[in-house]
Structure 1
Amino acid sequence: MPSRFSTLSAFCTVELDTPKCTWSITWNNLGTTLQHLHRYDESITAHQTALTLYKQTDNTDSQANTWNNLGTTLQHLHRYDESITAHQTALTLYKQTDNTNGQANAWNGLGVTLYKLHRYDEAIAAHQTARTLHKQIGNIQAQAVTWNNTGTALRGLNRHKEAIEAGQHAAQTLEDVGDFARAGEAWGELAETLNAAGANLTQVHAAWARSADAYQRAGMQEEAAHARTKAEQDNPGQAS
């Protein structure tokens, strides 16, 4: 079994003593990879190590990136108060460097955590702020992601008409820009919203089918199969 340090070295394509590959970047990348593997405790340790190293170099933007990644990982572990603090810290640091894209990402991450806490109005406000910032720099794809998150939060408030409009815009835009993985997620969220709103089952089926198709185009077979199963159920969107 490879050691922790040999795993770290695999992220580098050049010698570690060159500026192109620092330990701090490597720890941060490792933390993100561990997060994707659902190894959240290890991910937190990696990001915390990256933060310590970044502070030694006064790299404010990279510290902000790591805080934001840490906030997302903490959210997965249901450590919501810590997640909020991490995203807020990232936001403060991004403001110091006038990093608009970073600020938008921090607001979006904050909004997701607030949603998990059922603080829906605050979540919507956070996503709206993120979307405004993404619009300033012309990031259409990221705007669509915030629309999807906004729709989910609106559903939490039973504001179904607005939630459906937000979800439709998000799903279609993500599909149009070729982000089929997120489009699959957005079509699925729309299906859940349509079902919660008591929409015609034909509409719910169609949204799940679009989700399956998008996931299929993204090469995400497991997610595509799940969405296809939902599309074929008599009452899709309900918990099994």
Structure 2
Amino acid sequence: MAFDLVQYFAEQIHIQKPELLNQYQSSERKAHLAEINTLSLAKLITLWRKDENKLYQEIQSQEQLYIIDVARHLTTSDQNHSTLEKAEFEHTITEVLSLQLAELKQLDDTGHYGIKGLRELITGQVEHLSGQAADWIWSTSELIELKGSKPIPEEELSLEETMKEFNQMVHQSNIIEHHEQVTEVEKTVVPTWAKILEPVVALAILWILYSAATQMFA
């Protein structure tokens, strides 16, 4: 498994770029930066796949015009559903792209990765990115293989809703049980007319037996 650049870049953004989106609350700022960090890295993966030689050269040269062009393309994409204003989004992703390319160059210089080593490092980030962001990020970066990878959280029921469902279940169960009991009683109840005819039937049986006995001993 390749070294996790997602977390590494996130830490470097926190250390090197504390001014980015600092007008937002901590949790909101963290969420926006996580999206942009993910989007930027995902775009680097697709750029590498399209032309690894060109991107490797851009990593070495750190050409600002190239970075601005990529950032603008991501900002103006129809697939970009970031809630940030366009201007602050473009500024932020330009800064993040610059940082990522600078860090990749430093890793290459110190680790002597070369184009083959960076290929494994960059393309190996797909497994680290999987499930980390909403689909618009994968559509915007064109890393569409990761669409649908983010788990959809199950809706949490409140205690009140849970108890309501439980009470409904118990109530329904009681209705069914009562219905079954009534049905069983109805099956076993002897009709009133049967009770009235019981003595008559008994007398008829006795009369038949008496007649038979009289004829036998006549």
Q: TM-score range by the shorter chain?
A: under 0.3
Computing the radius of gyration over CA atoms, which structure comes out larger, 1 or 2? 2
Q: Normalising by structure 1, what TM-score?
A: 0.22
Q: Normalising by structure 2, what TM-score?
A: 0.24
Higher RCO structure (Cα 8 Å, ≥6 apart): 2
